[in-house]
Amino acid sequence: MTKPTIAGSRTGRKLGQRVKKKKLKASSRQWLERHINDPYVQRAQLEGYRARAAFKLLEIDEKYNILKGARRIIDLGAAPGSWSQIAAKVTGSTDEDIRVAAIDFLEMTQLPGVTILQLDFLDPTAPEKLMEAVGGTPDLVISDMAAPTTGHHRTDHLRTMHLCEVAAHFAVEVLGEGGHFLAKTFQGGTERDLLAMLKQHFRQVVHVKPASSRAESVEMFLLAKGFKGRKAEAEPEEA
CATH code at position 75: 3.40.50.150
Give residue-wise pLDDT tens across range 70-91.
999 999 999 999 999 999 999 9
What are the tens digits of pLDDT across the range 210-222?
988 766 677 889 9
Three-class secondary structure of residue 53 per DSSP:
coil
Asked if residue 116 and residue 32 are part of one domain, the reply reads no
Q: Is 184 a catalytic residue?
A: yes
* Higher-confidence position of 22 and 237: 22
Spatial CB neighbours of 194, under 8 Å, sequence gap ≥ 6: 161, 164, 165, 168
Q: Say if residue 126 is in the same domain as residue 220.
A: yes
Residue 44 confidence (pLDDT)? 66
On the question of pLDDT at 35 being above 50, the answer is no
Looking at the fold, whether 13 and 112 belong to one and the same domain comes out as no
* Residue 217 domain flag: yes
Same domain, 30 and 110: no
- Asked if residue 73 and residue 40 are part of one domain, the reply reads no
Query: 101 by DSSP, 3-state: which?
Result: strand
DSSP-derived secondary structure letter, 191: -
- Do residues 117 and 130 touch, judged by C-beta distance below 8 A? yes
pLDDT of residue 22: 54
pLDDT value, residue 138: 98
pLDDT at residue 96 above 60?
yes
Question: Does residue 4 sit within a domain?
Answer: no
* Residue 1 included in any domain: no
pLDDT in tens, 151-187: 777 777 788 889 999 999 999 999 999 999 999 987 6
Q: What are the C-alpha distances in Å from 149 to residues 1, 8, 21, 121, 172?
A: 33, 30, 26, 17, 27
- What's the pLDDT at 49? 85
State the Cα–Cα distance between residues 203 and 175, nearest whole angstrom: 14
Does 233 have pLDDT greater than 50? Answer: yes
- Considering the domain architecture, whether residues 149 and 164 belong to the same structural domain is answered as yes
Residue 227 has pLDDT above 90, yes or no: yes
Both 76 and 136 in one domain: the answer is: yes
Check pLDDT > 50 for residue 12: no
Q: From edge to edge, which strands make up the β-sheet containing 219-227?
A: 114-118, 100-104, 73-76, 140-143, 180-186, 219-227, 202-208
Helix (H/G/I), strand (E/B), else coil: 18: coil
pLDDT at res. 225? 98
More confident residue, 12 or 75: 75
Identify whether residues 32 and 123 lie together within a single domain.
no
pLDDT in tens, 43-70: 767 877 888 899 999 999 999 999 999 9
Q: Which residue among 22, 184, 199, 231 is the active-site one?
A: 184
Q: What is the pLDDT of residues 106-148, one digit of tens each?
A: 999 999 999 999 999 999 999 999 999 999 999 999 999 988 7
In this prediction, residue 6 carries a pLDDT of 36
Predicted confidence band of residue 26 (pLDDT cuts 50, 70, 90) = low
Residue 27 predicted with pLDDT over 90: no
CA distance 205 to 197: 10
Residue 76, beta-bridge partner list: 103, 143
Instruction: List all residues 6 or more positions away from 192 whose beta carbon is below 8 Å from its beta carbon.
Output: none
Strands 73-76 and 180-186, by their bridges, are unpaired
Q: Which domain holds residue 204?
A: 51-238
CA atoms within 13 A on the CB side of 90: 22
3-state secondary structure of 100: strand
